[in-house]
Amino acid sequence: MRPFLSSGPVAGRPDGDGVRPPPPSAPGSAMPFASPRPMAGPPVPGFRPSPVVGFTDQIRPGPPPSHAPPTSNNFQQFSAPQYSGPPTNPPIRTPPVGPPNMNMASPMPPNMPPPIQRPGVPAPTPPLTFRPNSQVPPQPYAQAPPQPFAQGPPQPYAQGPPQPYAQGPPQPFAQGPPQPFNQGPPQPFAQGPPQPYAQGPPQPYAQGPPQPYGQPAYAQSPSQPGMQGFVEDFSSLSLGAVPGSMDPGLDSKALPRPLEGDVEPTVFNDMTMNCSPKYMRLTTSAIPNSQSLASRWHLPLGAVVSPLAEASEGEEVPILNFGSAGIIRCRRCRTYINPYITFTDGGRKWRCNMCALLNDVPGDYVAPLDATGRRIDADQRPELIRGSIEFVAPTEYMVRAPMPPLYFFLIDVSVSAVRSGMLEVVAQTIKSCLDEIPGYPRTQIGFITFDSTIHFYNMKSTLTQPQMMVVSDVDDIFVPLPDDLLVNLSESRNVVESFLDSLPSMFQDTVNVESAFGPALKAAYMVMSQLGGKLLIFQNTLPSIGLGRLRLRGEDPRVYGTDKEASLRVPEDPFYKQMAAECTKYQIGINVYAFSDKYTDIASLGTLSKYTGGQVYYYPSFRSTIHADKLRHELARDLTRETAWEAVMRIRCGKGVKFNSYHGNFMLRSTDLIALPAVDCDKAFAMQLGLEETLLTTQTVYFQVALLYTASCGERRIRVHTAAAPVVSDLGEMYRRADTGAIVSVLSRLAIEKTLSSKLEDARSYLQMKIVKSLKEYRNLYAVQHRLAGRMIYPESLKYLPSYGLALSKSMPLRGGHADALLDERCAVGSTMMTLPVKSLLKFLYPSLIRVDEFLLKASSPDADLKNVEKRLPLTAESLDARGVFILDDGLRFVIWIGRMFPPELAASLNIDFASDLSQVNGSNNEMSRRLMGLLKKLRESDPAYYQFCHLVRQGEQPKEGFYVLSNLIEDQTAGTNGYVDWIAQIHRQVQQNA
C-alpha cells in the first residue's frame, strides 16, 4: 500500500490554476457596505503627515511608482480652492525631488496642527463601494468635488486608489478605520490609533465646518519650506570622512547590537486577524506592487513558516470539527475559510479573499449578517476571527486509515558505540520515555541493531524475551518475520522493556568495528514501508560495509579554495539521496544521531534527514560520562514532543504572486507541496516568492499555510494559518515593514545552500553582496534630499542586519576555510540551521553573553532578580572582565568563562572541575553552586528544543578559550575575519561605490 501516490492527499490541489477566470469586477452594489462605525477615529498621537509623494500615487492600475507623474497632475483634479488656500499656509506641496519614494515620513513636525478629529461625528456611509480586487475606474475623484473638503489641501490624495476598505464589512485590516495600504507614501501602519488620513473616503472633512487651516496637516510634506530641517526617516551611523584611511572613525559603542534577541515584528500584526508571527513571518509585510519594485528589493522576499510552533499558554490553536458538513473551502483555489473572507447576499455567499470567487455558503453554515456585513455569530466562530485554526479532516483527506505513531530505532552496536556508552544511554532513555511517547495505545515500536551484521528483534507480545535474529548476508538483505518486528508498544511493553534492559549488556564484549549501515538502513526501510513513521538512527562509525559505504574524505586541505571544495559538503554516494527520497515516499522521517570521534561524513548521513523532514543531532567524541545529559534530554524531547505524522504542507497566496523556492528540510512532492513524513514544533521552513504579473492590482496579498497531518491520537487534521500583507508601491515602505529576523533566517538558508555548490568564500560574499545592495538601494532613496556624506544610513527595521550578517559569515557552516571548523561540524550545524525557527536562529547567531558573578555572590536575593542577570552584553572581548564570570549561551550550548582574577577559592566553591571539559558543575551544597545550577536550569527552560551542554573555560586557557569563546565573540577581529567596526566600514565603502 502506498500512502500518497502522486495524487495523494494533498492539502488542496491547485485545481485548474491555469484556467482561472479573471476576478469578476463585481459591482460594489452586490455587497452591503459601509459600517456605520464612525470613521473618524480618536486623535492620533502617532500621526505622521503624509508626505508629498502620496499625491503621485495613481489610481490603479497606475504606472509603477518609479515614474510617478508630477504631482500637479493630481491636484488639478480637485477644485481650485485648494490652491487658493489661506496665505498662512505656505506652498503646501513642493513637487517631490527625486523619485517618489524618497519621502521622509517623519514624526509630525512641531509646527503642524494636529489632524482634525471629530470623534463625535459619525461618518456617513462611505460613497465608495468598491470591492478589493476589482479594477475600479478612477471614480473617487469624480465624486470628490461635491464634497466641501476642497478648502483644505486635498486629503483625497490619501485615497488615490479606490478604497476597498471603505466598505466596512470586509475590513481586512481589522482595526477600526480601514487603512489604505497601497498608497505610495509611508503609511506608518501604526498599530496605534488609526490615522485619520487613512480613513478611506474623506467624509470627516466633508462634514465638518470648513476649517481652512486645519486640514493642511495632511498635506504637509517634509520638504515644505519653513520646516526646521529634516526629520529623518532613517537611522544612520557617522563614519569618519577620511576615505581610504584605516581608521573608520566609527564609535563602536554606537553600533546597533541585537541585545534583545529576536523581536517579533509588530507591523505584521497590523492585520489583527493575522496568525501569530510565531507561525509565519514575512521578510517584509509589504508586498511590492510591481516586478520593477520587487527587483529593487535585494533582500529575500518570502516567508518563514513554523506551522507547529509551540503555542504560549492560553493561545492554543482551536480545533474545529465541521463533521459531515465538510470544511468550507473556495471552489476554485481551495483556500480554507479564514477571517479575511467576506460574506454577502445576506450571508448566503462568501467571497474568497485569495481569488475573489463568490462561493455558496453551505446551508447549515448560513448566518445572517449585521448592518456592517459581519456575521452575527462571528464571535462564536473561531475560523472567522482567528488567524490560526485547526480543522478535523474528514475521510476525503485520507488515502488510508490514519497511521499510528511509529518509532523505529536503528542502533549501531559496534565497539565504539558500546565503549562510548552511547548504547547504554540510548537504551535507558528510550525506556524512561516509554510512558510519554505520544499516541497510546496505538503507538508502534521496533528495533534493529547492526555492526557488520544486522540484528532483528522479534518482540511479539506473547514472548517473554525478545528473539534476536542475525542476518549476516548484507549484500542481499531479507527481513525475517516481517510481521513481528514492529509491535504495538502497549501490548509488547514487557518485551520491549526487557530488550532495552539487556541491550547494553548484549554487546558489551563486542570487538566488531565494522558498520553495515546502508544494508541496515535498507532493512529498516523495508520493515517500516508499510506504515511509515519516524526512524531514529544512532550511528557511531563511518559506514564501511555494503550499500552506502563511505570513505574518509575532507582531510585534504588542498581541496579547499578549489571548485571541488563544495563536493565535500554533499553526499558522496547517491544511495543516500535515493534512500531519503524513498523514505519520504513511504512517510518515513529520519533523525540522525551521530556520535563519532572521527569523521563520520555527516554530509552524507545528514542527507537522510534533509529530505525526510528530520534533523541531525551531532555529539562529536561522545562520552557518556560527559555528554549523557545532553543526549538524554534531546532524545527524550524527540520522542515525546508532539509530532505531526504523514504530513503535507502547502502555502497559498493571492493572485499575482507565487512561491517559487522552498528552503529547509523536506522534500517537494509537487511544485508547491512540501512532504513532511514527521514534523514537530521545532522545525521551520523558509520560502521565497515572486511576482507573476508585472503589476499587482490587488491592495492586499493573503497567505495561507495549510498543514494536513495525522495527529498522534489518530485524528487527521488540517492546521491553517492565514495572514495578509498590504501591497505597496513604495520601496521605503517595504524597508519600513521589513523583518530582520525573517530576512536573516532566509538569508542563512540561502547561504548554506550555496556552500553545497560553491566555495565558502562565495557564500560569504553572496551574503555580503545582498546586504550591500539592499543598503545601497536604501541610500539611493535618500541621497538626493539629504546630505549623507560620511554617514551610513539604514532603515530602523534593518538596524541589526549587518551584525547578523557578520555573525552569519562567522558561523560554523560559513566561517573561514579548512582549518577553521571540522567538516562534520560544519555540516551538522548547517543542517541544524536549516531547521531552526527564527528566534532560535538569531540567538544562535548572536549568542547572549551575560555576567553572572554578582548574581552568584550576592548573599541574599532569590532567583527573582534573574532579570537583571540576563542583561546581554556585546559580543566582544571588551565585555569580558577578568574579575568576573560570564555565560555565553547560543541556545545549543553554554560556555562559562571564568576570569583570571576571579578569586580561586570562590571558583573552587563552585565545585568546578577544570581538568575535564564537563558540565559537572554538580551541585555541591553551597549556595553559590546552587545558584549557578539554578541559573543554568532557568536558561535551559527558556530554550527547551536543545540541551545546552556546558563548557567551562578559564581565561587564557588555550585552545579551549579560542574555540569556545573567542570564536563566538563575533564583533572582534580574529585571524582573517573582520571585526564589527571593520565590517560596517567595509559595507559602507561598498554601498558608496558607484552610489
Binding site for other proteins (CB under 8 A): 5-7, 13-14, 574, 577-578, 580-581, 585, 607, 610-611, 661, 667-671
Q: Is residue 880 a contact residue for Zn ion (CB under 5 A)?
A: no
**In angstroms, what is the minimal distance from the CB of 15 to other proteins?**
10
At 111, list the grid cell. 509646527
Q: Which does 355 bind (CB under 5 to 8 A by kind): other proteins, Zn ion, none?
A: Zn ion
Name the segment binding Zn ion (CB under 5 A); options: 31-39, 346-354, 491-499, 823-831: 346-354
CA nearest neighbour of 90 among 112, 68, 115, 117: 112
**In angstroms, what is the minimal distance from the CB of 667 to other proteins?**
6
**In angstroms, what is the minimal distance from the CB of 668 to other proteins?**
5
**In angstroms, what is the minimal distance from the CB of 21 to Zn ion?**
11
**Distances from the Cα of 321 to the Cα of 180, 394, 449, 711, angstroms:** 35, 9, 43, 14
**In angstroms, what is the minimal distance from the CB of 106 to Zn ion?**
40
Q: Is residue 330 a contact residue for Zn ion (CB under 5 A)?
A: yes
Write out the H or E segment, with its range, that includes residue 541. none
**Closer to other proteins by Cβ: residue 44 or 647:** 647
Among 40, 317, 333, 648, which residue sits at the site for Zn ion (rule: CB under 5 A)? 333
At 244, list the grid cell. 581610504
**In angstroms, what is the minimal distance from the CB of 207 to Zn ion?**
38
Q: Which does 342 bind (CB under 5 to 8 A by kind): Zn ion, other proteins, none?
A: none
Among 40, 52, 271, 354, which residue sits at the site for Zn ion (rule: CB under 5 A)? 354
Which distant-in-sequence residues (6+ apart) come within 8 Å of 473 by Cβ? none
CB-CB contact of 65 with 47 (8 Å): no
**In angstroms, what is the minimal distance from the CB of 991 to other proteins?**
31
Q: Which does 324 bind (CB under 5 to 8 A by kind): Zn ion, other proteins, none?
A: none
**Closer to Zn ion by Cβ: residue 330 or 418:** 330
**In angstroms, what is the minimal distance from the CB of 234 to other proteins?**
36
Q: Which does 259 bind (CB under 5 to 8 A by kind): other proteins, Zn ion, none?
A: none
φ/ψ of 410, rounded to 5, equals -120, 105
Q: Is residue 720 a contact residue for Zn ion (CB under 5 A)?
A: no
Give the CA count within 13 Å in the CB-facing half-sphere of 80. Answer: 1
Longest dimension (CA), the chain: 99
State the Cα–Cα distance between residues 838 and 115, nearest whole angstrom.
Answer: 39
CB-CB contact of 349 with 176 (8 Å): no
**Binding-site size, Zn ion (CB under 5 A):** 8
**Closer to other proteins by Cβ: residue 67 or 564:** 564
Q: DSSP E strands: which ranges in 106-213?
A: none
State the Cα–Cα distance between residues 753 and 671, nearest whole angstrom.
Answer: 19
Name the segment binding Zn ion (CB under 5 A); options: 76-84, 188-196, 330-338, 945-953: 330-338
CB-CB contact of 921 with 875 (8 Å): no
Q: Which does 611 bind (CB under 5 to 8 A by kind): Zn ion, other proteins, none?
A: other proteins
Q: Which does 894 bind (CB under 5 to 8 A by kind): other proteins, Zn ion, none?
A: none
CA nearest neighbour of 71 among 181, 223, 202, 179: 223
Q: Which does 655 bind (CB under 5 to 8 A by kind): other proteins, Zn ion, none?
A: none
Q: Is residue 335 a contact residue for Zn ion (CB under 5 A)?
A: yes
**Closer to other proteins by Cβ: residue 529 or 699:** 529
**Closer to other proteins by Cβ: residue 6 or 860:** 6
**Closer to other proteins by Cβ: residue 334 or 455:** 334
**Distances from the Cα of 269 to the Cα of 364, 383, 556, angstroms:** 32, 17, 51
Q: Which does 352 bind (CB under 5 to 8 A by kind): Zn ion, other proteins, none?
A: Zn ion
**In angstroms, what is the minimal distance from the CB of 652 to Zn ion?**
9
Among 352, 763, 801, 939, which residue sits at the site for Zn ion (rule: CB under 5 A)? 352
**Closer to Zn ion by Cβ: residue 611 or 702:** 702
**In angstroms, what is the minimal distance from the CB of 515 to other proteins?**
24
φ/ψ of 704, rounded to 5, equals -140, 120
Q: Which does 818 bind (CB under 5 to 8 A by kind): Zn ion, other proteins, none?
A: none
The DSSP secondary-structure symbol of 69 reads: P
Among 357, 385, 626, 873, which residue sits at the site for Zn ion (rule: CB under 5 A)? 357
CA nearest neighbour of 916 among 549, 602, 627: 627
Q: Which does 671 bind (CB under 5 to 8 A by kind): Zn ion, other proteins, none?
A: other proteins
At 812, list the grid cell. 560554523
Q: Which does 670 bind (CB under 5 to 8 A by kind): other proteins, Zn ion, none?
A: other proteins
- Contacts by residues 767-773 (CB-CB < 8 Å, ≥ 24 positions apart): 767/805, 767/808, 767/809, 767/814, 768/805, 768/809, 768/987, 768/990, 770/298, 770/299, 770/300, 771/801, 771/802, 771/805, 771/987, 772/987, 772/990, 772/991, 773/298
**Closer to other proteins by Cβ: residue 26 or 756:** 756
**In angstroms, what is the minimal distance from the CB of 428 to other proteins?**
35
Can you list the alpha helix ranges (DSSP code H) found in 529-573?
A: none
State the Cα–Cα distance between residues 65 and 504, nearest whole angstrom.
Answer: 70
The residues facing 644 across adjacent strands are 679
CA nearest neighbour of 176 among 158, 200, 202, 159: 200
Among 287, 355, 542, 718, which residue sits at the site for Zn ion (rule: CB under 5 A)? 355
CA nearest neighbour of 303 among 759, 656, 703, 608: 703
At 460, list the grid cell. 511479539
**Closer to other proteins by Cβ: residue 350 or 576:** 576
**Closer to other proteins by Cβ: residue 16 or 249:** 16
Residues of this chain that interact with Zn ion (CB under 5 A) are 330, 332-333, 335, 352, 354-355, 357
